[in-house]
Amino acid sequence: MMSLKVRSLNKVQLLFLVIVIALYLLPLFKVSILVLHIIIYTLLFAYAATAWNIVGGMAGQLSLTHGAFLGIGAYAAALLFMNNSISPWITLPLAMVIGAGAAALIGYPCFKFGLRGAYFAIASLMFNLIFVELLIVWREFTGGSLGLSIKFINNPLYFQFATKEPYYWIILTMWIAIILLIKKAKKLRYYLAAIRENEDAAAALGISVRKYKLMAAVISGALTAAVGVFYAQYFMYVNPEGTAGVDMSIEILLIALIGGKFTILGPTIGATIIVPLSEYLRYTLGGTYAGLHRIIFGIVLIILVLLLPQGIWGRIDEKWKLEARL
């Protein structure tokens, strides 16, 4: 049965399967802690940018609030563990519900009153800024601008591990899960594509524009909150600006744009290029020439945007139509 299944895969699917298997086996070889950390960080942003892409790319709603969604998951995991000794494994579904609720809170009124484009972007940005301010003001609860340091107890039941390998396998599994989820949701992707291209025409065809945009926002918010739980447990520290700030929202957005925001694998390609490059520049230039790595990183991003407006993977997929065979 298994051999017949493998033979039925086309070349693109078989290549994807080989890459996934290789990634799962990677930690079994001698990989340095730094390299493993960069891969984990890359997969984290690949997942987050893919979650953003559901509403930001496929539905065409430029969201600037996904830092807040990630922060919701991160703070939920940290606070419930520190104050109530609740395992982040249990917090994970709760964080997704809260993330979905937050997305509905901002999405429902925006879509009800027809906000789109720059207006929706501004509304989502304001939500992110308000969320960060609340985290800072409620310092007795959230630790304020200093954030929260999570106590390390080295217990897998509490999503804590002594080595990086378990974190690697968890975030890799999360990334594969979100890719497969989007791949299977063909009907939703087609509806969102129609809405993105022309909302009025989509409505004329009988597509409930408000319903599907809100659905995309809710799914995106829930999935982003899930990776926030991972973020908190991996770094063992959360703070308003670094974890949930606008910078996080913009970084997630840029990765999706650079990779190709209308595609399934575009955000992953963007993360694979941008995150290691950013980390390399920070490690090599950050200590000696403070801020120079950001300048170089910004220049590279500008060049990529100018040369490849549809994104790196978007340009490749436009020519080879690989995702149609995925």
% of the chain beyond a pLDDT of 90 = 80
pLDDT digits (tens, 9 = 90+) for 98-148: 999 999 999 999 999 989 889 999 999 999 999 999 999 999 999 999 999
Domain ranges of the chain: 2-325
Residues 69-111 have pLDDT tens digits of: 999 999 999 999 999 999 999 999 999 999 999 999 999 999 9
pLDDT in tens, 235-294: 999 999 999 999 999 999 999 999 998 899 999 999 999 999 888 887 887 666 666 666
Least confident of 53-57, 82-86, 159-163, 318-322: 318-322
How high is the pLDDT of residue 5?
47
Give the CA angle between residues 248, 57, 177 to the nearest 5°: 75
- Give yes or no for a contact between 61 and 218, defined as CB atoms under 8 angstroms apart: no
- Which of the 8 DSSP states describes residue 146? G
* pLDDT confidence of residue 130: 97
Contact 151, 82 (CB under 8 A): yes
Closest CA to 95 of 308, 238, 281: 238
pLDDT, tens digit, for every residue of 281-292? 878 876 666 666
Q: What is the spatial distance between Cα 174 and Cα 282, in angstroms, rounded to a whole number?
A: 27
Q: Residue 99 and residue 90: Cα distance in Å, rounded?
A: 15
How many other CB atoms are there within 10 angstroms of residue 6's CB atom? 11
Provide the pLDDT for residue 293: 64
- pLDDT of 2 reads 44
Question: Does residue 186 register a pLDDT over 80?
Answer: yes
Question: pLDDT-based confidence at 4, cuts 50/70/90?
Answer: very low
Q: What does pLDDT average to over the chain?
A: 92
CA distance 69 to 219: 11
* CATH fold label, 2-325: ABC transporter involved in vitamin B12 uptake, BtuC (1.10.3470)
Name the band, by pLDDT with cuts 50, 70 and 90, for residue 3: very low
Whether the per-residue pLDDT at 6 is higher than 50: the answer is no
Q: With a cut of 80, say whether residue 305 has pLDDT above it.
A: no
Provide the whole-model pTM.
Answer: 0.94
204-227 mean pLDDT: 97
